[in-house]
Structure 1
Amino acid sequence: MTTTAPVVPDSSPSALEKAEIRSWKAPIAFGVFVVISLILFFGFPRNGESSFRWSEATDAIKLPNLTVDTRVTTILVTILLVILTAASAWYSWRARKTPIWMVVLFALIFMFGFLAWADSGSPYPVPITGLFLGTISLAVPLVFGALGGVISERGGVVNVAIEGQLLSGAFVSAMTASFTGSWAVGLIAAMVAGVLVSFVLAAFSIKYLVDQVIVGVVLNVLVVGLTNFLYSQVLAADPQALNHPPRLPSWPIPLLSDIPVIGKVLFDQSIIEYLMYIAVFLVWFGLFKTRWGLRLRSVGEHPEAADTVGINVNSTRFWNVSLAGAVAGLGGAYFTLGSVGAFSKEMTAGQGFIALAAVIFGRWDPIRATLAALLFGFATNLQNVLSTIGSPVPSEFMLMLPYVVTIFAVAGLVGMSRAPAADGKPYIKS
């Protein structure tokens, strides 16, 4: 009797049909902006000329203004946007991801068309240098807050208290710098204030296992109430001595600061902007290239495995949450030492929550979170620029634009975003 062996189907990768995963998120987002372009450019057409100013009066190298025909520009921009949307749809149909360069190009083209439409017939050209310079300035506290959020959440602790860390840093830096007359002491004091807020967050969430989100919200309310009380009772009593801090000096870098457009934007800043550049690099390098970063990510992803190889999970989390508070507190100092020049009640105005949105939008990556913070800073500064050139866009819409971008970014652009596996989960050693 002859037996026949059962036929086993070939399960090698070459014999298996690869499942195609098509993501239509990018072409849908592109399509939304194409519809917005059609409504603005063709539903409310504007004729005339639009100008863009590339150089300021103090620039060593001056570039001529760019003047374009508004109607022709908006038509060409719409055509290009439709082409890029079709290309993105083709990538999705082929189960391929839309390249990042295409996303950046789409955004630049749309913004150029929108600014040309908004500036049509205005006697004031669009100040490109001012637009970017304001973006950097408004993004500084967001970047520091986002970096603090990345460090904390990569270690497994949800940092909703970024708002409180920024506000405490702003208050303490103003009072300390005013009292000592030194902005350097003010920066150090701001970091200490952020650490103190983080100590409370770490103690309750790590040691006493209180819900991390609740602790963060309570800390924000506590810091707001405490700083308001101290402002009314202490700073307001003698503002010249306690709420008149020295401003951060501007340190232009020779040669680099003379480069048109980007020279003023990147290389003619105060020390806190330069510290921001350094902090972004250090957090990225430390997180992904060092032993410290490996330990931090391990306690945020799989604390049980980290514990088995000898890593003290709770201690690692505690000290890194404290480090996150120091970084966020430094961002708070920018409000009083670099931007406003004095402390006022609730001056952070929800920037900590936008920084937290930048963490999510950036997928817990320091570089992406920084880019997200710059996006939110750009959206905030855009309302100022449009008001200057006399844009027809209602001011009420421009005021809510940063928050619309925040909601759209977190709910729409990010889609399925995976946080560190143990983020928000207390670790109890068995």
Structure 2
Amino acid sequence: MDLSSFLAATIRMAIPLLIAALGLVVSERAGLINIGVEGTMLTGAFAAFAVAYYTNNYWLGMLAGMLAGCFMTLIFAVASIRFRAPQVVIGCAINMLGSGFTAVLFRKMFFDAQTGGTQVTPFPPIQIPGLSSIPFIGEVFFQHNIIVYIGFILVPAIWFLMNRTSIGTRIIAVGEHPKAADSLGINVFTTRYAATLFSGLLMGMAGAYLAIAQSNTFQVDMTGGKGYIAMAVVVLGKWKPGGVLLGALIFGGSNALQMTLQNAGLNIPNNLILMVPYIVTVLAVLAACKKKAVDASAKGVAYEKA
């Protein structure tokens, strides 16, 4: 794999982490700890694949994946906001639910002698006119499918939302000091519900990307820990969209490196090669923890209106 192919693979691998992490930025700044990213992405991936298969339309598949992600975060939101259940516990339950539920449905609906290995038509790559033909740069940046471009557009969009709009101000306020926000007339519960559901849309999109954009099929537990890595991306990026982009590219590069090493035919045990992204995750988070970051002061604390 030459350098341009490696960098293009880095971008493709980074996109699901980037999109999911941007969703987490919004919900965590609102004061919620949702570790159920893995299960939410997995549910989005299955829903996208199933709908794309039966409708032969990848846009409907993407919509289904986003709605499925939204549904999973709705479960989390109701349990943690309405019933004030421990957020970490609910997140763990979401992960187990997503893994088990999608595995059962996939085997029931698709995995038999007639339909095993079912594939769908994925999002096609889009050649940006003029730019895609530029040597090196064209292959790296301008020959991807539309979800890759949407992922990059989301970075400034989320930054603008959080830093230049009243919506972002409210989200940050309920995450920093919900009682003070409540006293100013901000509905803490509504804001947290909205932030959580929005994050679910992006997590579902990230999962759908894996099934119908990065590949053209669904596999049991196909997220392979990417939900957890997305959480690390948020920490590494200091809860800032620009930092999250950089973090996603670092982890995307580690995944691309893993694939390169696997295809190089080196005399290295495969299990050691598979460890590369997770070793990078641990080292990156340890490095990020040495620097002070701006995080929601009331994150993980259930709010009870007086």
Shorter-chain TM-score category?
A: over 0.9
Which sections of structure 2, spanning at least 5 residues, go unmatched?
none
Contact 1:147 1:327 in 2 (8 A): yes
SS of 1:269 mapped into structure 2: coil
Contact 2:38 2:228 in 1 (8 A): yes
1:372 aligned partner:
247
CA distance in 1, matches of 2:114, 2:202: 27
Contact 2:176 2:297 in 1 (8 A): yes
Contact 2:235 2:288 in 1 (8 A): no
SS of 2:144 mapped into structure 1: strand
2:304 aligned partner:
428
CA distance in 2, matches of 1:334, 1:194: 12
Contact 2:117 2:217 in 1 (8 A): no
- Letter in structure 2 aligned against 1:398: I
Higher gyration radius (CA): 1
Give how far 1:383 is off: 2.2
1:230 aligned partner:
105
- Letter in structure 1 aligned against 2:304: I
Q: Deviations over 1:303-338 (max 9, x none)?
A: 111111110001100111000000110011111111
Structure-1-length-normalised TM-score: 0.68
Give how far 1:398 is off: 2.8
SS of 2:126 mapped into structure 1: strand
Give how far 1:413 is off: 3.6
Contact 1:251 1:270 in 2 (8 A): yes
What does 1:4-403 correspond to in 2, within 5 Å?
Answer: 127-237=2-112, 240=115, 243-389=118-264, 395-403=270-278
- Letter in structure 1 aligned against 2:216: G
- The RMSD of aligned alpha carbons is 1.8
CA distance in 2, matches of 1:152, 1:239: 42
Give how far 1:400 is off: 1.0
Contact 1:360 1:417 in 2 (8 A): no
- Letter in structure 2 aligned against 1:201: F
- Letter in structure 2 aligned against 1:369: V
SS of 1:251 mapped into structure 2: coil
Contact 2:65 2:204 in 1 (8 A): yes
Give how far 1:280 is off: 1.5
SS of 2:275 mapped into structure 1: helix
Give how far 1:384 is off: 2.2
Give how far 1:386 is off: 3.4
- Mean Cα deviation higher: 338-347 or 316-325: 338-347
Which sections of structure 1, spanning at least 5 residues, go unmatched?
1-125
1:52 aligned partner:
none
- Letter in structure 2 aligned against 1:163: E
CA distance in 1, matches of 2:272, 2:55: 42
Taking a change above 3 Å as real, the CA distance of residues 286 and 384 of structure 1, as seen in their structure-2 partners, is: same
Give how far 1:262 is off: 2.2
CA distance in 2, matches of 1:228, 1:299: 37
| More relative contact order, 1 or 2 (CA 8 Å, 6+ apart) | 2
CA distance in 2, matches of 1:185, 1:307: 39
Structure-2-length-normalised TM-score: 0.95
Q: Deviations over 1:194-243 (max 9, x none)?
A: 00000000000000000101100111001111011111111224875994
1:78 aligned partner:
none
Taking a change above 3 Å as real, the CA distance of residues 199 and 242 of structure 1, as seen in their structure-2 partners, is: farther
CA distance in 2, matches of 1:255, 1:236: 43
CA distance in 2, matches of 1:377, 1:386: 14
CA distance in 2, matches of 1:144, 1:201: 19
SS of 1:311 mapped into structure 2: coil
CA distance in 2, matches of 1:391, 1:232: 35
Taking a change above 3 Å as real, the CA distance of residues 256 and 295 of structure 1, as seen in their structure-2 partners, is: same
CA distance in 2, matches of 1:177, 1:220: 23
Give how far 1:264 is off: 1.5
1:409 aligns with 2:278: no
CA distance in 1, matches of 2:199, 2:164: 18
SS of 1:257 mapped into structure 2: coil
Give how far 1:363 is off: 1.1
Taking a change above 3 Å as real, the CA distance of residues 388 and 245 of structure 1, as seen in their structure-2 partners, is: closer
- Letter in structure 2 aligned against 1:283: I
Give how far 1:395 is off: 4.5
CA distance in 2, matches of 1:310, 1:287: 19
Taking a change above 3 Å as real, the CA distance of residues 368 and 220 of structure 1, as seen in their structure-2 partners, is: same
Give how far 1:389 is off: 4.5
- Mean Cα deviation higher: 142-151 or 232-241: 232-241
Give how far 1:273 is off: 0.5
- Mean Cα deviation higher: 410-419 or 159-168: 410-419
Give how far 1:260 is off: 2.2
